[in-house]
Structure 1
Amino acid sequence: MNLSRRNVIVGSIAAGAATAIPGTAQAHGRETYDLTVLGTSDMHGNVYNWDYFKDAEFDDSAHNDVGVAKLAALVNRIRGERRGKATLVLDAGDTIQGTPLAYYYAVQEPITTTGKTHPMARAMNILRYDAVTLGNHEFNYGLPLLATWIQQLGFPALAANAINVKTGKPAFQPYVIKQVSLGHGAPTLRVGILGLTNPGTAIWDKGHVEGRLTFADLVETAKKWVPEMKRKGADIVIVSAHSGDSGTSSYGPELPVENAAGLVATKVPDVDAVLFGHAHVEIAQKFYTNEVTGKQVLTSEPSKWGQRLTRMDFTLSRSRGKWAVEAARSATLNTNTVEADPVVLAAVQAQHRTTVAYVNQVVATSTEELSAAESRYRDTPIIDFINHVQTETVTAALGTGLPVLSIAAPFSRTAVFPAGDVKIRDVAGLYVYDNTLEAVELSGAEVRAYLEYSAKFFVTLAPGAPVDPASISDPAVPDYNYDILSGVDYDIDVAKPVGSRITRLERDGAAVADTDRFVVAVNNYRRSGGGNFPGIVRTQVYNEQKEIRQLLIDWAQAKGAIDPADFSVPNWRLVREGTPVF
């Protein structure tokens, strides 16, 4: 990267003021000690500062950088500054999925068969983490690959609330207690680190974990293990949780709360700090008041992909053999202020180059440019391409029976198939998730209810109000939770309230009846309950564990050409009081 260009970007290096912790004895002249805990989260397979979909150095509108190599440079700098003082490094999960690099060594050349070390294990071992918490995306490629990756790590992988169904005990190490030297002549500090993973894994990766693992409530799990950690000698306790702090869930009440980091801080005594992830947001410093002890509990979330590093600083004192946290503060440091660590880059260089070569393979020729830029609010051929391949695959597997509909979401606003050569990275940029294809049966009434739920993606447009494509969608609903159906024709009237927007629903020119029956092709994330869409969580009529992205690649390679005339069928539109919006 051009460091001189980016050195001016301060980013979020705003450390909060140190906050005294109520309920602790103040030092009053006694000697104090300091501990620094560095935290990362949601790295999602990023080692290099590289965008594999663009085949270029990563960059965004804020000029963020990504990757473990960048994080390692910051960590090494802080360790150097604190030489001889206690510094721990933790990660809050979602590590081995998210880039073509991670995908390649899970699917194309899986580490379970080649015996090669996963690039994220190589990079993280060089950085010398003290512990990593398992995120929900650690389960995406199945338990054997996860087990192999954990074996390759030089530090513990934690998940206290992932429970083995057969034994009723934690399936992974629940916690670790680190003996920490605070400097020459200082007494030893024992830091307990508890790992908590996300209950949503039971939905999102049901095919991999059902009948094998269950996922317990984060608060109740912490209430169980924190006292044991204290009995085993932990002087302070830090929770590393793959769970946001909003207190809400993206699914229904059938599972424990998805984003429970704040609840852990509030309701579990003897927790001194919480490093958390999952929500992909930057929270430099946030304190919660524990309802039991009245203590202030420090929390922080370091954004995503290695863009930020959380730094927590604790002032500690010791009296009558017991440690107390006198004050705490945290900051998030921007990785665009440093050059990537050359040791990490060298360790993963061969795997990075292999991945770059893979994603640059040409799979077909497109007759014209196809863009996803308008796919949220306009029927576009590039989304029709996904639905066509899904429909064709399910129809071929099930034969001619019920009509087959298909569901796809506009995951990316930047995906483009260029006119001419289309490469694997172009397809991967369109379908960014490692979902597999499934299918279920729905009635006409259930299809309508599904579309009504999806239509809440849009804001309500008053008659005569100007229409701005940039603000027509509700910012609270992510693009991946707006689903587009093929195989039926429908209007979404955005002048009407949520729940009453599907004003036309037809197939072959006739209105869809509530009693009509359809087979609906859908990805495994949605079919398992991701996004909490109605009616879709039911037994599959098709599930051959075929990855949708690979189906798209295979279809393009077999055809040799991507021509909208082969698959583009405009079938939906946004209207306002019956008049098309666009």
Structure 2
Amino acid sequence: MSPLSRRSLIRGGAASAAAVLASVGFTDTAAARDIGGSTDPYRLTVLGTTDLHGNIFNWDYFKDAEYDDTPHNDVGLAKVSTLVEAVRTERGAASTLLIDAGDTIQGTPLAYYYAKVTPIGPGVIHPMAAAMNAMRYDAAALGNHEFNYGIPLLRTFEQQLNFPLLGANAVDVATGRPAFRPFVIKPVWVPGRWLPLWVGVLGLTNPGIAIWDRANVEGRMEFPGLVEQAAYWVPIMKQLGADVVVVSAHSGADTSSSYGDALPWPENAATLVAEQVPDIDAILVGHAHQEIAERRVVNTVTGREVVLTEPLRWGMRLSVLTIDVRPAARGFEVTSVTAQVLNSNTVAEDPAVVELLQADHQVVLDYVNSVVGTSAVAMSAATARYEDTAAIDFVNYVQADAVRTVLTGTEYAALPVLSIAAPFNREAAIPQGDVSVRDVAGLYIFDNTLQAVLMSGSDVREYLEFSARYFRAVTSAGPFTPDEVTNAVTATAPGGTPDYNYDVMGGLTAPLAYRIDLGQPVGSRIVDLTYAGAPLDPAGRFVIAINNYRASGGGSFPHTADATVVYNAQVEIRQLIIDWVTANGTIDPAVFASTDWSLTYQGAPLQISG
């Protein structure tokens, strides 16, 4: 079996590697080299970012204010650029490389605007491409969110970059070959040397793309495992003369998978790559949104340490890999690797980046602050993770209403419609009075699309039981703080279940009501489950309004990936909500809000405060 996938994705395996390499612009440079000149040691610096998610400015588009959080982090490439230039000044630009580990073009209204409102193309450069080109990036790996807007837009973004977009395990189904360049080998000229230090950067993305963006990639690309792909490509990079090998991996350090065993390859596998694949010197980690200044992992084959680093997210940090080398018989050998992270909140924004993209920023500010309707009362999602709120009811209502409308006249029109939504953003709020695009967008910060699937009553119960894993077990009715009850650690969420993996389900024309008893074991927490005031019929049939991430198996919820799909027109849910407000004019919770679920302990209401 070829290391590229479960089938032979490179025809003929390693024997045809030369043809594959030629197709991505490489030639064999593995002949012995006489480096000549000075025998002094040399210090290479590799700077890394990851999970930028469309952040250029230190700005919160949903609050219409400078970004701030409890630890007072700053965000954005404008801040990172200042740090990068400082390191280049200190270490020398000629001995410094800059790379990224993915999730670049999705996540802010700025990114959304240039994907959907005014899409990039001739005459329209993606702001992230413009910023990264100005900062002189050397390479970037693909993240899973690069595929959210479809392959054509991703290809346009790729063409706008002055550096390669890497994805060794993004494989073209038709050809069996990498759909993107798998790696790049960069020359770094060392004073006193006749030939350069060759630095290889291997890009790896996430197998979960096959699930999370199935609608965009199915039948076109496959995403085999990181370990398998690194084991295939690293020896080729060494054969081609790479003295240093750095992996840029859009995959978390702590081995786990939000999709369970739905794929044969783990979602978070950076540590496994370090442990199992020889000849890697360092890994820039992405995807998990964690801060890892330096983690040292021993390779089980060579006994050498591999250094991992992850610079949090959104440009909050910059990873700095310091790699010392010395002359060897064939080029250079690595003598030590260390890592640290620099904090973006210690510097001002780079005025060159600000000036370059201020006009794009202003266009998006005007867009997100445009008024689309009014609200009869204020609605907040601040407590939505532990109590029924009108804000989440509103999302469910719009989704369910849209599904009911499109199913009119079909064989499914008579079935009851339920809807699923999650508390994506604790800071989301709809004000009383004028409602802007950014107010509505704050309720739905992901670029998911609406689907509808069929479920039975028993499926609904099992789905809700799975969702209730989000809560921690308790031994009394409280009182508790929210953090003492929510974000439970599970086998698939060792860092705690994220809010976006807690789903609330509601009915459209009749209430779906239930209680979540945290005094009961996981799997037996849903009690008093009723529809239209009667116990839910296990054999009943329901149409479920659901987002594409969940419908494709994201979060590994039951009865989604294999459910019968009755609607999938690729309509974005956020835009659907904006359009609903624009068409209806007024948001009135009296139309859609009710308290249909609550937390209990052995039948008593759970007390939560703070």
What's the TM-score once normalised by structure 1's chain length? Answer: 0.93
Distance in 2, Cα, partners of 1:339 & 1:154: 25
SS class of match (1:104): helix
Tell me, yes or no, if structure 1 residue 512 matches structure 2 residue 545. Answer: no
The Cα offsets for residues 242-282 of structure 1, whole Å up to 9 and x where unpaired, read as 00011111102232111111111110011111111000000
Post-superposition offset of 1:430: 1.1
- 2: CA distance, partners of 1:220 / 1:74: 35
TM-superposed deviation, 1:576: 1.7
Distance 1:251 1:234, change over 3 A: same
Q: 1:260 to 1:173 in 2, by over 3 A?
A: same
Task: Answer yes or no: is the 8 Å Cα contact 2:252–2:286 preserved in 1.
Answer: yes
Q: Kindly indicate whether residue 98 of structure 2 is the aligned counterpart of residue 74 of structure 1.
A: no
What is the CA distance between 1:45 and its match in structure 2? Answer: 0.2
Q: Out of 315, 324, 330, which is 1:315 matched to?
A: 324
Deviates more, 1:531-540 or 1:185-194: 185-194
Q: Tell me which residue corresponds to 1:3.
A: none
Counterpart amino acid of residue 518 in structure 2:
V
| 1:47 to partner: Cα distance | 0.5
Check whether the contact 2:479–2:606 (CA below 8 A) recurs between aligned residues: no
**Local SS of the residue matching 2:203:** strand
Per the alignment, residue 11 of structure 2 pairs with none
Asked whether 1:325 is paired with 2:338, we answer no
Alpha-carbon distance in structure 2 between the residues aligned to 1:466 and 1:431:
30
Q: Distance in 1 between matches of 2:133 and 2:598?
A: 51
Q: Is the 8 A contact 1:266 1:289 kept in 2?
A: yes
Residue of structure 1 equivalent to 2:392:
383
2:321 counterpart SS class? strand
Alpha-carbon distance between aligned partners in 1 of 2:481 and 2:250, rounded to the nearest angstrom: 36
Quote the residue 1:340 is aligned against: 349
Matched with 1:521 is: 545
Specify the alignment match of 1:407 in structure 2.
420
**Distance in 2 between residues matched to 1:186 and 1:50, nearest whole Å:** 47
| Residue pairs, 1:79-228, within 5 angstroms | 79-83=88-92, 85-112=94-121, 115-185=123-193, 187-228=195-236
| Residue identity opposite 2:527 in structure 1 | T
1:133-174 deviation per Cα after TM superposition (whole angstroms, max 9, x unaligned): 010000000000000000000000000000000000000000
- Give aligned-pair identity as a percent: 55
Identify which of 41, 55, 69 aligns with 1:32: 41
Confirm whether residue 458 of structure 1 aligns to residue 471 of structure 2. Answer: yes
CA distance 1:279–1:448, shift in 2 (3 Å)? same
Q: Could you report, residue by residue, the CA deviation over 1:199-248 in whole angstroms, capped at 9, with x for unpaired residues?
A: 00111101000000000110110111111111111112111100001111
Aligned-pair distance for 1:187? 4.6
Aligned to 1:563: 588
CA contact (8 A) 2:478 2:606 kept: no
Distance of 1:565 and 1:263 partners within structure 2: 52
Residue 469 of structure 1: how far off its partner (Å): 2.9
Query: Does the CA contact (< 8 Å) of 1:85 and 1:183 recur in 2?
Result: no
C-alpha distance in 1 between matches for 2:245 and 2:324: 14
2:370 and 2:334 map into 1 onto residues whose CA distance is: 55
| 1:243-322 correspondence to structure 2 within 5 Å | 243-255=251-263, 256-322=265-331
Extract unaligned runs of 5+ from structure 1: 1-28
Question: Which shows bigger deviation, 166-175 or 396-405?
Answer: 396-405
Q: CA deviation at 1:314?
A: 1.1
Task: Number of aligned residue pairs: give it.
Answer: 553
Q: Which of 455, 466, 478 is equivalent to 2:498? A: 478
Is the alpha carbon distance of 1:84 and 1:499 closer, same or farther for their aligned partners in structure 2, counting shifts above 3 Å?
closer
**Quick one: structure 1 residues 454 and 254, their matched pair in 2 at CA, closer, same or farther if it must change by over 3 Å?**
closer
CA separation in 2, counterparts of 1:482 and 1:258? 19
Paired position in structure 1 for 2:515: 491
More off after superposition, 101-110 vs 226-235: 226-235
Partners of 2:424 and 2:445 within 8 A in 1: yes
Equivalent residue letter for 2:141 = T
- How far has the Cα of 1:350 moved from its partner? 1.0
Is 1:46 aligned with 2:55?
yes
Q: Contact between 1:86 and 1:183, CA under 8 Å: does it hold in 2?
A: no
- Secondary structure of the residue that 1:161 maps to in structure 2? coil
Rounded Cα–Cα distance in structure 2 between residues aligned with 1:469 and 1:177: 49
Other-structure match for 1:4: none
SS at structure 1 position matched to 2:179 = coil
Take 1:553 and 1:72, find their aligned partners in 2: how far apart are those partners? 34
SS of match in other structure, 1:325: strand
Q: How far did residue 31 of structure 1 move?
A: 2.3
Question: What amino acid sits opposite 1:195 in the alignment?
Answer: G
Q: Is 1:428 aligned with 2:436?
A: no
Structure 1: 4+ residue segments shifted above 4 A: 184-187
Q: 1:287, CA displacement in angstroms?
A: 0.7
TM-aligned CA deviation for residue 365 of structure 1: 0.9
Structure 2 residues not aligned, in runs of 5+: 1-37, 489-495
Deviates more, 1:177-186 or 1:151-160: 177-186
| Deviation sequence 1:93-148 (CA, Å, 0-9, x none) | 00000000000000000114x54100000000000000000100000000000000
| Equivalent residue number for residue 467 of structure 1 | 480
Cα distance in structure 1, aligned partners of 2:526 and 2:74: 42
Distance 1:185 1:167 in 2: 41
User: Which residues of 2 match residues 47-62 of structure 1 at below 5 A?
Assistant: 47-62=56-71
How far has the Cα of 1:337 moved from its partner? 1.0
Contact 1:34 1:182 in 2 (8 A): no
Q: Is the 8 A contact 1:35 1:182 kept in 2?
A: no
Select which of 237, 240, 246 maps to 1:232.
240
Instruction: Please list the CA deviations of residues 310-350 of structure 1 after superposition, one character each: whole Å capped at 9, or x if unmatched.
Output: 00101111122342111111100001111111111111111
**152-161 or 310-319: which moved more?**
310-319
